[in-house]
Structure 1
């Protein structure tokens, strides 16, 4: 018996609203009863890539007219009084401005709370923002009539920042693929009194970044792959507890915050020298204290090249450290640096991806080989013997360096309670998950420094 189809339509609408839009549309093939039921979903995702084809060479061929016809028909036939979310992704809106404006007006009429307008081109290179032509879609006046908008994403859009004064309930803003001046950011913060989350991605010609205000409610700040004319951050937001940065090396000045978690990824930086090691040291010093810290393979390679190669002074207050690493020999100095810098460390996550970039011009600050450190009993960090209780290793492939680190932790961590090893699901050098798991299981035979250690291999 088909019990699901016998549910009232409003219940089915609730269920379909929790399903991705593309998957909800597939239910139209189930039966006549379901043919139009999916159109009652309150979460709309109009994406031109859903209507694309691939040619014989595998290249994506967009079909803008077919996509626009679908959007027009859906809007014309939809009678729902309220929508929760609407996402419109369309990289060639110039010839179809009228339809796009109708879609935006539809979102206003249906009291959409979460709106995403993405007019960026998927062929754009986020690592070469200066070398692209960036046509912006000029948002119509109807956009500023939203009265219940709580979150908005605007990619490749031209907007009037002062129009945001109308968004009294707006809590989250995400901007991308636009020219973004520091004055625009300041105006957004001033006009959106309830703003809790700000994200900027692939923006260019940013003078710098200033997020300051004693009355700011901002709790989350994300900056990804932007081009800065002045690589400096000034942050003074009393409620900020999460910050993520991905880009070239910048200097952070963080004051008066309650920062709990920081995620730093300097992978897009191509330079590699001692001065950048000092800059990374200053940036790290600028965002602390923070309890949870994530660092990248670039930082593991470069930060020991500075004037302080062995650790931070004063030591960090980090209790949860995540190392995004390739487990390359060049990173062993950085791993040593952070273990030495975190004497209160309780949780260590080692996220392994061997495709992460290794600096070609790198000059190791230590002559020791990778295995020499991890096989030695001479260097035992304070956190290893006194505070470290939980370790998780992700993407384990059983390379010698991975085994050395795992052996070191199991041998010397005296209070560790849980070690979780998650083996990689990828094939590598004619070896697969079964081989990775077999190597990981060697840990059961290691001498354990903690009597209470439980080991799980996934």
Structure 2
């Protein structure tokens, strides 16, 4: 494909000439470069329609810097294949900013690989591939080696629910953004090279499969953001997933994890980490001990980061610690944590694990209970006692969401107001059930509750 000479196109103007705005009376008078820039903002189908405007426009669309091909938009596969073929045939050798391809591989693997090779040789900067396979096809597909030896590629998005076979040599000196979706990593050691490109800044692994590897190593010196959405493993693999995920990224700023903690995550050399999100599903059957152990190790590694100021958790990861005294007695210390948020799950204020978390986060400035807050018992004796240091000296802002105004939720608010001595603002976001559970003036009732901070303002949002 890439060896076919470019088709000679009719032009009204020499592209080397300077553009004279005073002589431009209509759109067709604009230079090719400017017209192609305008076309880059349009969907590809609309760009193709411009070929009917005049002889000059006939092939201009094929030189557009952004090419986006989606097989699902075509009534028949043969039309799609021919359309992509013509677009790359009529295109000149100009550089591509973005090439996006969504298609089924089927029996055209070599044809599709020739397209990918062509755009790589056209110095593509952003490559997006969503390749699908029929379950019964049995295709042993391998991406072209040219794809992993690009001097210009800045961003690569690869969604491919099968094994990725990598070439022995990987050279992507400008790659900054890498997203892999539903990819199964081969046990050949080459994936470590892919995940450790020296220029890599953003890495996303979305439901990829690495359970059969001995270890998954991510060691990127310039990595700033890492997002891992862990794949749901089969039941027989959940309790025996030996593959650890080893993260060594000295300049990492943001870490995000979503999943069931099937793998054991180890984070080291992340002294710059500022924000972490840990959103975990509940433990799968027969994996409760593994879930708690992996969750504890992950929190312990995060607590060792000197600059971590924002931590988002789902509550069930702490709830698992309540039944394990060894974790409560040696709970990680978050000495620099300023913002703590509990996402999704409703939090029990009388949880031992929550008390350990608050007691070991002495500098907390803001706490958000995104899933709600309640007290599991009818009495408030011993809850938040002794009072965590952050409630006495640093906690200024408290947000409670999904508030139903039930008795156990009102009791939780009352305990928090009495404990927080320097609180500036309490924001309560009410659900639609508040009027069902409390018939009076709810804001007035809360404002009349005893509190330790006289200057605390209370707001209710519906």
TM-score, length-scaled by structure 1? 0.69
Give the corresponding residue for 2:185.
179
Give the corresponding residue for 2:339.
320
Q: In the alignment, is the contact (CA less than 8 A) between 1:208 and 1:233 conserved in 2? A: no
Give the corresponding residue for 2:274.
260
Give the corresponding residue for 1:341.
360
* Greater Cα offset, 413-422 or 170-179: 413-422
Give the corresponding residue for 2:123.
111
**Mapping for residues 88-99 of structure 1, pairs under 5 Å:** 88-90=101-103, 92-99=104-111
Instruction: Report how far residue 312 of structure 1 moved.
Output: 5.1
Give the corresponding residue for 1:153.
157
Give the corresponding residue for 1:305.
323
Instruction: Report how far residue 270 of structure 1 moved.
Output: 0.5
Mapped pair 1:199 → 2:201: no
Give the corresponding residue for 1:143.
147
Give the corresponding residue for 1:240.
252
Mapped pair 1:385 → 2:389: no
Question: RMSD of aligned C-alpha atoms?
Answer: 4.8
Instruction: Report how far residue 238 of structure 1 moved.
Output: 2.4
Instruction: Report how far residue 149 of structure 1 moved.
Output: 0.6
Measured in 1, the distance between the counterparts of 2:65 and 2:255 equals 31
Give the corresponding residue for 1:453.
457
Instruction: Report how far residue 162 of structure 1 moved.
Output: 3.1
More helix by share: 1
**Mapping for residues 278-427 of structure 1, pairs under 5 Å:** 278-290=293-305, 291=308, 292-308=310-326, 310=328, 313-317=331-335, 318-327=337-346, 332-352=351-371, 369=376, 372=379, 380-393=387-400, 396=402, 398=404, 400=406, 405-406=412-413, 408-410=415-417, 412-420=419-427
Instruction: Report how far residue 408 of structure 1 moved.
Output: 4.6
Q: Given the superposition, is the C-alpha separation of residues 277 and 369 from structure 1 closer, same or farther in structure 2, using an over 3 Å criterion?
A: same
Measured in 2, the distance between the counterparts of 1:312 and 1:134 equals 51
Measured in 1, the distance between the counterparts of 2:192 and 2:228 equals 15
Q: 1:83 aligns with which of 96, 108, 115?
A: 96
Q: Given the superposition, is the C-alpha separation of residues 408 and 112 from structure 1 closer, same or farther in structure 2, using an over 3 Å criterion?
A: farther
Measured in 2, the distance between the counterparts of 1:435 and 1:17 equals 53
**Secondary structure in 2 aligned to 1:89?**
strand
Unaligned runs of 5+ in 1: 53-62, 125-131, 355-367, 425-430
Measured in 2, the distance between the counterparts of 1:435 and 1:161 equals 63
Instruction: Report how far residue 148 of structure 1 moved.
Output: 0.4
Instruction: Report how far residue 178 of structure 1 moved.
Output: 1.6
TM-score, length-scaled by structure 2? 0.69
Measured in 2, the distance between the counterparts of 1:199 and 1:382 equals 37
Number of residue pairs matched? 406
Instruction: Report how far residue 164 of structure 1 moved.
Output: 1.7
Instruction: Report how far residue 51 of structure 1 moved.
Output: 5.2
Q: Given the superposition, is the C-alpha separation of residues 283 and 241 from structure 1 closer, same or farther in structure 2, using an over 3 Å criterion?
A: same
Measured in 1, the distance between the counterparts of 2:58 and 2:349 equals 58
